[in-house]
Structure 1
Amino acid sequence: MFVDSHAHIDGPEYDADRAQVLERARAVGIIAVLTVGAGDPASGALERAVQLAEDEPMVYAAVGIHPHEARLFDEAAAARLGRLIRHPKAIAWGEIGLDYHYDNSPRDVQRRAFAAQLKLAREAGKPVIIHSREADEDTLAILRDELSRDHGGVMHCFTGGWRAAEAALDLGMMISFAGILTFKRADELRAIAREVPLDRVLIETDSPYLAPVPYRGRRNEPAYVIEVARALAAVRGLSVEEIGRRTTENFTRLFRLHLEGFRGAALDR
């Protein structure tokens, strides 16, 4: 059994075949997909993620204002998020954070929106999903300021170095690996994946982006998370099935879920 801990299958890229995409995921043993609402908060993107989670038993939702749209974070957006996060299948606040690669929103605006949303997530008692690109120092500093170590969260699609991974682990975060782990030139990332404690690892697709080898260049989809699991299994010297079990267990523990058909240590406690 496997979980895709971060995807965007509520997006328009799947409007023509979303049901088939989910069926392909089920066929390879995926029991849950976390779809992460993104985009202009006034566009209905956040609501679409929650609605999909309501309609599809295997889908859960996260809501938050991505750093690309941080300039759009205001009182109205905060109020909309506050309503949506109360939905029983809205299990996380995110993705939020900093992106200094594209700078689609000014950096000071990104930092303010990030800190404000961490405070809201803390008040709501929801784990956070963190986006950090070329901004690890500021991302980690804001996390230290705004969250306690036991709050819970994940560094999504991790691409930082070992120092950033260690700092995130010290803050109580999980580390999630995506299709980049399968790329030919990702030796440094695979070395990090070998060292992260196994009870702190998640796998994801970030669909429709970053399709893993052998699907690179195509639209990504949750079924392909198996390739990320295979890459992680190879560097850890474990079976793919064991990686599936351990990462699913981590997912259920972080997001406090009982997934139908899954029994693991996280659920037995």
Structure 2
Amino acid sequence: MKVVKTIDEVRAQVREWRAQGLTVGLVPTMGYLHEGHASLIDASHRDNDRTVVSDFVNPMQFGPTEDLESYPRDIERDAKLVEEHGGDIIFNPEPSEMYHEGFSSFVDMTVLTQELCGLSRPVHFRGVCTVVSKLFNIVKPDRAYFGKKDAQQLAVIRHMVDDLNMDIEIIGCPIVREADGLAKSSRNTYLSEAEREAALVLSKAVFLGMDMVKKGEKDCSAIIGEMKKLIESEPLARIDYVKIVDCATMQQITCLDRPALCAMAAYIGSTRLIDNFFTEDV
């Protein structure tokens, strides 16, 4: 396993693999890897002959008041995890390698990006679509792997691949949780001990919503109301949104009469965390 810094290095290695008839998987990440990322690498290692893991904190998807500078980074730690889980290359470029001077081309989307996280993070998905498109062009993988915790991102990437006729299979992998239920996230490292305990209210709300769906509740407002009530009972929590949307369009629905996503974002102290469940998984 090796760490490479340039686009030319990645392309040269992938060309060599292709000449040998090997398949290639890509796991796009922003680094500071945890067990959730490891599950994506495991899936790629299982499905493909070779796996590329991108490790790049993408400045384009951060707003001016967001945590770009403080976002955790540790390439040596990441390299150890990637090697342990069967990855073959880490692509760890500098921002200047991905966005040269004068860079002015972007990949954007409407509809799917205008709800949920798109409301409070208006530049986020343009940054995601642009960097993922670049990674797809650089690596040209057979398959790419994304976690279902970032459910809106997964839907956006799938839609982009379909709209732009990209010959890549997009694989969504289940949320990986801590033993107490908290969804794995690189931003969990921001939490104090008290905030870490308070953050459990998010997964508790997810499990409550899932239980209501399992028992036959179809009224979205009833499910959302109970989930919000639980989150609001935690003094350190501040809700950004709790919504139920159509899986295909990311638009809000009122009744569970189709495949749906129940998604939330909340601040625990100053840290914004997300969690969700798909009704089809209940």
- Name the TM-score, length of structure 1 as normaliser: 0.30
Whose helix proportion is higher, 1 or 2? Answer: 1
- Name the TM-score, length of structure 2 as normaliser: 0.29
